[in-house]
Structure 1
Amino acid sequence: MNAKELKAILQALMEHEVSEMSLETPDYKLNIKRGSSLAQVQYVPAPVATPQITAPQPAVAVPAPQPAAVAAPAATSRPATAGREAEDKKEEIKGVEVKAPIVGTFYRSPAPDAEPYVKEGDSVKKGQVLCIIEAMKLMNEIESEVTGVVRKILVNDAEPVEYGQTLFIIEPA
Structure 2
Amino acid sequence: MDIREIQNLIKFVAKSGATEVKLEMDDIKITIKTTDGGSSETTTYIQQAPMSQALPQAAAPQPTSPSAPAEVAPAADDNAKYITIKSPIIGTLYRKPSPDKAPFVEVGTTISKGDVVCVIEAMKLFNEIESEISGKIVKVLVDDSSPVEFDQPLFLVDPS
TM-score, L = length of structure 1: 0.47
Which residue does the alignment assign to 1:136? Answer: 123
Distance 2:85 2:93 in 1: 13
Which residue does the alignment assign to 1:171? Answer: 158
Deviations 1:77-136 (A, max 9, x none): xxxxxxxxxxx8676333111100000000001001100000001100000000000000
In structure 2, list runs of 5 or more residues that go unmatched.
Answer: 1-73
Deviations 1:17-72 (A, max 9, x none): xxxxxxxxxxxxxxxxxxxxxxxxxxxxxxxxxxxxxxxxxxxxxxxxxxxxxxxx
Higher Cα Rg, which structure:
1
Distance 2:152 2:131 in 1: 15
Number of positions where the alignment pairs a residue of Structure 1 with one of Structure 2? 87
Q: Following superposition of structure 1 onto structure 2, how do residues 12-161 of structure 1 map, counting pairs within 5 Å? A: 92-93=78-79, 94-161=81-148
4+ long deviations beyond 2 Å? 88-94
Distance 2:82 2:131 in 1: 13
In structure 1, list runs of 5 or more residues that go unmatched.
Answer: 1-87
Distance 1:90 1:160 in 2: 24
Distance 1:166 1:108 in 2: 14
Distance 1:89 1:119 in 2: 22
- The alignment yields a C-alpha RMSD, in angstroms, of 1.9
Using a 3 Å threshold, how does the CA distance of structure 1 residues 104 and 151 change in structure 2: closer, same or farther?
A: same
Percent identity for Structure 1 against Structure 2: 49
- 1:96 and 1:171 in contact (8 A); partners too: yes
- 1:130 and 1:143 in contact (8 A); partners too: yes
The structure in which a higher percent of residues are helix is: 2
The one of the two structures with greater contact order (alpha-carbon pairs below 8 A, sep at least 6) is 2
- 1:90 and 1:169 in contact (8 A); partners too: no
Q: Following superposition of structure 1 onto structure 2, how do residues 3-18 of structure 1 map, counting pairs within 5 Å? A: none
